Amino acid sequence: MFNAHTPFQNLSLDPAEMVTVKEAYDLACRTLQNIGQLEVDREVIARGILRAVNAGERNANKLCEQAIHGLTASDYRQHDA
């Protein structure tokens, strides 16, 4: 699920930290899909994870949680019925 073209490609993290960031991203995408939320722009999820990484977080579950909790109504894509 992880796309190499996300903002994560330019991070200066060690390989283990990069794996954690990728896991957090995939977990956030799966979590939103599993709870039936409207599709969220994946770039928004990536930015939320980056904010948490920049604040020093390195736990995949916490990175995911912080990215999801930071979402607002405008982050959800609207689909025509």
The structural domains of the chain, with segments of one domain joined by +, span 36-76
pLDDT along the chain (81 residues), means of 10: 60 87 92 73 86 94 92 64 43
DSSP output for the chain: ---TTSGGGG----HHHHHHHHHHHHHHHHHHHHTTPPPBPHHHHHHHHHHHHHTT---HHHHHHHHHHT--GGGBPP---
pLDDT at 5: 46
pLDDT at 6: 57
